[in-house]
Each structure stands twice: as C-alpha cells, then as structure tokens.
C-alpha cells in the first residue's frame, strides 16, 4: 500500500501515460454515416447538424475518396427520398434504379474496398414516416418483414457488403438472412440494430431525411429507454437469427447497455453515436461552452472503452484528422 504504490507514477508524463493507455482510437474503429439526395452538384448542410451534409451522387464520389484517403473503411448509407415517391408499401425501396441502389454502386465504383453498409427500414420511403407498413394506426410486423427482406436483397444485388436493418420488427433478421441465402448472397452480412431505443436523440437525423413520423411515435417497435435486460434478449435473438454484427443505439446514454452486451455476446458490437449527440456538442461548442475537440475525443474514447468494436459517428472524419 501507500507509499509502496503511488498510482500517480503512471501519470507523470505523456509518454508513460501513452504506454499504459488502455483504449486507443484508430481510423478503422469507424463507420461513416452518409446522407444522399437526388440532383447534381448538391452539397447541402443539414440545419440541425452543422458541418454535416447531404450529397448528390456526383459529389458523393469526392467525399468517399476523401474518407478512403483518411483511412476510413466503412460507410453507412441513408437516402432522402422525394415526397412523391413515398407510399405505405415501401415500393420505391425495392426499385433497382432507386437512389439507394445507385448510391451503393457509386461508392463501390469509387472505392471498391470500402465496406458499404445500407440502412434497411421503411421510414424514408413511408408516407407515414414509420419504419413499417401502417394499417389502422398500427405498424404491421410480418408484412413489413417481407418488404425489408426484399429491400435487403435489392441492396445486396446492387453491391452492398452489409445490410443494416434499423427498424426493430420482430424476426426481420431471420427473414432477411433466409432470403439472402436462398438467393445466393451468402457473403452479404447483416449488421443488426439490435438494441435500438425509442430515443429523442434522433431528431436531427429525421430533419436530414425528412423522415419524422407523421402520427404517433416509434415506441411500439423501438425499445423503452428504461430497459436493460430487454437489450440482451433482443440482441441474443438477432444473433440466433443470423446477425453478424449487433448494434446499440444511441451511444452515450446507453454505455451500460454496450458493456452488458459486450460481456454477453461473441460477435462484434457496434455503437451508433446518433445525430442528437452530434448536435448537442456542436451547439455547446458554438456557444463557447465546451471545447469541441476535447469533448469529441472523450466521448469517442468512452464509447470504445464501454465495449464498442465499431463506432458509427458523424465525428469520424474530424476524429481521424485529429489523430494524424
Ligand atoms: C431509421 C433510422 C433512424 C436512425 C438511423 N436509422 C431514425 C429513427 O429510427 O427514427 C437515427 C440515426 C441518428 O439519429 O443519427 N430507422
């Protein structure tokens, strides 16, 4: 005991601190979310996400090139669908020439080694802004699954490496895995949003895609923030149904869940640091109330320390630039 052991000895200089540091951040920790829109020459800033943009396909190319040159190896694609293509069946989601399908091909042509993951859920395509098919104010589970499986197959055909179902219907991983196997897409992976909470932190994302629910909320499918055991149940079920990677979402408020899951599963664990988390720090930094870069690094480190193998983050590019 003291003075034989003085813990401060390991903190005396940056050199010794770095030798004993337990958590290191590197470019290959990250997945970069990308928002894609129709048009040409479009790079528009998302009002509630300062410094983050929607790109048309022609400008997506240079963004992807930059990410690749920074050492970032994975992207997570989201599309903003024009209103006139939205309905209650998700039909546009299956269009082989749809925006998502073209975006997948664009990224693959630009950076063939980039891991392309795609969001699978109906909300950007839904006239109701819900993740599933709506009937009499309810979200239909099994009918939705059938469309999600077709949607995943369509992304696989366009060249997606992983599909990422973010809808929280029961049994969708099984339906998607089965269809992909039947159609010969044995190597297309599934990153399941397995513990996705009904969070108020998704607000800016819904601005980005104009995908806010038109009625009600998402509490009949996304999880109650008060629940912890349920996250394990959801995650184990998705693994049994064929998920290759599981995810916890949002990040910071849910790091207890991240550690629980990391200790309970033997597949890689992803964490999504969501739009509201990004917006909060940007706003506080703009006011001069927080040191942007220091808080950003602390948050990313905390997410990894909690157990994340992969972090989906709007800060990915900023972090990697800081590291170099
Ligand atoms: C769509 C989806 C959402 C996010 C990722 N995929 C929004 C939602 O479920 O309402 C949120 C991401 C973020 O806030 O950054 N199902």
CATH number of domain containing 211? 3.20.20.70
* Residue 249 is a catalytic residue: yes
What is the pTM assigned to this prediction? 0.97
- Domain residue limits at 139: 25-323
Mutate to test the pocket of ligand 1, among 274, 279, 280, 315 (most ligand atoms within 8 A of CB): 274
The predicted structure's pLDDT at residue 189? 98
Q: Is residue 4 part of a domain?
A: no
To which residue do tokens 């599309």 refer?
79
Beta strands at 269-273 and 310-313: parallel, antiparallel or unpaired: parallel
Measure 226 CA to ligand 1 centroid, in angstroms: 19
In a domain, 315, yes or no: yes
Close Cβ partners of 173 (under 8 Å, ≥ 6 residues apart): 165, 190, 192, 237, 238, 241, 242, 243
In this structure, are residues 49 and 276 in contact, taking their beta carbons and an 8 Å threshold?
no
Q: Which residue has the tokens 């009625």?
A: 215
pLDDT of residue 1: 83
> For the chain, what is the domain count?
1
Distance of alpha carbon 178 from alpha carbon 28, whole angstroms = 30
- Sequence length of the chain is 324
Pick the catalytic residue from 43, 73, 219, 249: 249
Task: Give the nearest ligand 1 atom to 119 CA.
Answer: 6
Task: Give domain status of residue 175, yes or no.
Answer: yes
How many angstroms does the Cα of residue 305 sit away from the middle of ligand 1?
24
How far, in Å, from the CA of 46 to the mean position of ligand 1? 15
Q: What does the pLDDT read at residue 126? A: 96
What does the alpha-carbon distance between residue 179 and residue 284 come to, in Å, rounded to a whole number? 46
Per-residue tens of pLDDT for the chain, all 324 residues: 899 999 999 999 999 999 999 999 999 999 999 999 999 999 999 999 999 999 999 999 999 999 999 999 999 999 999 999 999 999 999 999 999 999 999 999 999 999 999 999 999 999 999 999 999 999 999 999 999 999 999 999 999 999 999 999 999 999 999 999 999 999 999 999 999 999 999 999 999 998 999 999 999 999 999 999 999 999 999 999 999 999 999 999 999 999 999 999 999 999 999 999 999 999 999 999 999 999 999 999 999 999 999 999 999 999 999 998
- Determine the Cα–Cα distance for residues 178 and 174; give it in Å rounded to an integer: 6
What distance in Å separates the CA atoms of residue 324 and residue 320, rounded to the nearest whole number? Answer: 7
Q: Is 8 inside a domain boundary?
A: no
Question: Residue whose CA is closest, atom 11 of ligand 1?
Answer: 202
- The protein residue whose alpha carbon is closest to atom 14 in ligand 1 is 202
Kindly list the distances between the CA atom of residue 52 and the CA atoms of 32, 34, 85, in Å, as whole numbers in the listed order. 11, 9, 25
Which one-letter DSSP state was computed for residue 54? Answer: E
User: Which tokens hold the place of 299?
Assistant: 């948050």
Q: For residue 29, is it within any domain?
A: yes
Give pLDDT, residue 122.
Answer: 97
Q: Is 15 part of any domain?
A: no
Token pair 């630039």 is found at 321
What pLDDT is attached to residue 114?
98
Q: Ligand 1 centroid to 219 CA: how many Å?
A: 13
> Is 196 marked active-site?
yes
Q: Helices 57-69 and 99-110 meet at what angle, rounded to 10?
A: 40
DSSP 222-279: SBPTT-SHHHHHHHHHHHHTT-SEEEEESSGGGHHHHHHHHHH-SS-EEEEE-HHHHH
| Residue 255 falls inside a structural domain | yes
Res 148: pLDDT: 98
- Alpha-carbon distances of 31 from 81, 122, 170, 189, 313, rounded to whole Å: 22, 21, 25, 15, 7
Burial class (CB in 10 A: 0-12, 13-18, 19+), 287: exposed
**Burial, 238: exposed, middle or buried (Cβ in 10 Å; 0-12, 13-18, 19+)?**
buried
Q: Residues 123, 130: contact at Cβ < 8 Å?
A: yes
State the closest ligand 1 atom to the C-alpha of 202, by its place in the atom list counted from 1.
Answer: 14
Nearest to 218 by CA among 237, 240, 193: 193
Instruction: Examine residue 214 and state whether it is found in any structural domain, yes or no.
Output: yes
């Amino acid at each position: 005991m003291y003075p034989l052991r003085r813990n401060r000895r390991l903190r005396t200089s940056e050199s010794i601190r770095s030798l004993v540091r337990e958590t290191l951040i590197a470019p290959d920790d990250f997945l970069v979310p990308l928002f894609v829109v129709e048009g040409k020459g479009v790079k528009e800033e998302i009002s509630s996400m300062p410094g983050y943009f929607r790109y048309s396909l022609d400008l997506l190319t240079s963004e992807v090139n930059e990410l690749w040159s920074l050492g970032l190896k994975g992207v997570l694609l989201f599309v903003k669908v024009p209103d006139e293509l939205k309905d209650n069946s998700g039909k546009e989601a299956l269009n082989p020439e749809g925006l998502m399908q073209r975006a997948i091909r664009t990224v693959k042509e630009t950076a063939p080694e980039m891991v392309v993951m795609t969001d699978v859920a109906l909300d950007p395509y839904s006239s109701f802004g819900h993740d599933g098919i709506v009937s009499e104010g309810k979200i239909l589970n099994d009918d939705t699954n059938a469309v999600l499986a077709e949607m995943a197959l369509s992304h696989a055909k366009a060249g997606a490496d992983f599909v990422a179902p973010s809808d929280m219907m029961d049994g969708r991983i099984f339906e998607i895995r089965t269809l992909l196997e039947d159609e010969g897409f044995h190597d297309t992976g599934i990153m399941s949003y397995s513990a996705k909470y009904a969070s108020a932190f998704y607000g800016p994302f819904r601005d980005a895609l104009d995908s806010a629910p038109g009625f009600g909320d998402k509490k009949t499918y996304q999880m109650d923030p008060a629940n912890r055991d349920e996250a394990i149940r959801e995650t184990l079920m998705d693994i049994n149904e064929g998920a290759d990677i599981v995810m916890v979402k949002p990040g910071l408020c849910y790091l207890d869940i991240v550690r629980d899951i990391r200790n309970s599963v033997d597949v890689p664990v992803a964490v999504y640091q969501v739009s509201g988390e990004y917006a909060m720090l940007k706003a506080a930094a703009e006011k001069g109330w927080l040191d942007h870069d220091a808080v950003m690094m602390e948050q990313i480190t905390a997410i990894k320390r909690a157990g994340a193998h992969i972090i989906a983050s709007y800060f990915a590019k900023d972090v990697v630039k800081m590291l170099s």
